[in-house]
């Protein structure tokens, strides 16, 4: 099973690495890291930046069983890049599952994949997701046919476990969850925009803007 992961400059590293680690543990999975060009990209900027290597260029991969599109600030420019959105649309036609994490949903929407489709993304990008034709849905993971979208960053782990269960069954997904010891006990009840004050939401946006 070919798992195609799209990488790009200024993506969010956890959006990629969380699902990638889960997919890599799934029996029979072959991972393909695909970028606009073959070679290194930088996930994030400044203190949050790490290098990721694309093993394939867009032109070298034209199909896949699973497509995973991470998010990050770099999506804002790529929604206008017809080479990227056209490639996503083409790959989507061949997939059994098309997925996104965080603002990766913006790229799916810009490619026409989410036209009138219920989908989720980072809470701060819901308005833009709607403008791009999707139906914003405030859930951590949203499934619609073969499309699975995840909300912000850490929810990519939930999405990938859901995907593993759909592909290989719940027992395999549960075993993978145990292997990565995914048993979160967050110290604060502030992981959802609906549970925090306007001041905390404002501070969160300021922290990202100051990066």
Cβ neighbour number for residue 6 with a 10 Å cutoff:
27
- Which residue of the set 23, 102, 108, 129 is catalytic? 102
Does the annotation count 102 as an active-site position?
yes
Alpha carbons 16 and 101: distance in angstroms, whole number: 8
Cα angle for residues 196, 107, 53 (degrees, 5° grid):
100
Rounded-to-integer distance, Cα 164 and Cα 176, Å: 9
Tokens of residue 72, six digits: 């990050």
Distance CA 166, CA 98 (A): 13
Q: Which residues are catalytic?
A: 102
């Amino acid at each position: 099973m070919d798992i195609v992961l799209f990488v790009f400059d200024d993506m969010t590293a956890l959006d990629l690495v969380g699902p990638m680690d889960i997919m890599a543990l799934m029996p029979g999975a072959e991972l393909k890291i695909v970028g606009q060009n073959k070679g290194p990209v930088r996930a994030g900027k400044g203190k949050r930046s790490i290098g990721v290597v694309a093993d394939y260029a867009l032109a070298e991969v034209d199909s896949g069983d699973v497509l995973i599109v991470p998010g990050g600030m770099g999506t804002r420019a790529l929604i206008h890049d017809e080479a990227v959105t056209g490639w996503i649309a083409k790959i989507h036609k061949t997939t059994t599952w098309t997925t996104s994490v965080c603002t990766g949903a913006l790229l799916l929407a810009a490619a026409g994949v989410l036209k009138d489709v219920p989908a989720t993304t980072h809470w701060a990008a819901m308005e833009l997701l709607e403008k791009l034709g999707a139906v914003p849905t405030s859930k951590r993971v949203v499934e619609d046919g073969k499309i699975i979208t995840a909300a912000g960053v850490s929810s990519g782990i939930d999405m990938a476990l859901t995907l593993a269960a759909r592909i290989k069954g719940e027992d395999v997904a549960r075993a993978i969850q145990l292997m990565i010891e995914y048993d979160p006990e967050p110290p604060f009840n502030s992981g959802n925009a609906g549970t925090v004050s306007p001041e905390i939401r404002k501070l969160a946006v300021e922290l990202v803007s100051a990066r």
